[in-house]
Structure formats: structure tokens, C-alpha cells
Amino acid sequence: MAAKPGFEESLGRLEEIVRRLEQDNVPLEESIRLYEEGMRIGKKCRLILEQADRRIQKLTEELEKEIDDES
């Protein structure tokens, strides 16, 4: 089983989808398929960013607490 693509790889695929959809000659069914894929990837990227934000917030709070405890 292949590893799930990470954030950077997913974002790259999303950029490919956008470039393809911006072309004039994309058939309707392919456009719909690409749109659906893009929406799934976008959701995944948002979730990854939200998790990263929570981790950063937690680390910041922990470091601030350590600094306060040292004062």
C-alpha cells in the first residue's frame, strides 16, 4: 500500500488541477471529475494546516509557560 501524499504533494496536485481547469478545451465530465478531486484535496490540505496550527499553538503555550516559570 502506497503512503498517502503529504501536504506539499497534495498542494502540487491541486495546482495541476487548477491549471487544467483553466484551459478552454477541458471536456465537461473531466472538468467535473477534476473539480471533485480538487475539493477533496483542498479539504485534506485545510485539515493538515489546522492540525499544524494547533501544534504550533500548543508549543507556543508550552514555551510561554516555561518562560513564565523561569521568571
Give tens-digit pLDDT for 2-18: 678 899 999 999 999 99
Inter-CA distances, 49 with 34, 41, 56, 61, 64, Å: 22, 12, 10, 18, 22
Q: What is the pLDDT of residue 1?
A: 58
pTM of this prediction?
0.80
Where do the structural domains in the chain lie, given as residue ranges? 7-70
Query: Hey, how many other C-beta atoms are within 10 angstroms of the C-beta on 41?
Result: 20
What is the distance between the terminal CA atoms of the chain, rounded to a whole angstrom? Answer: 51
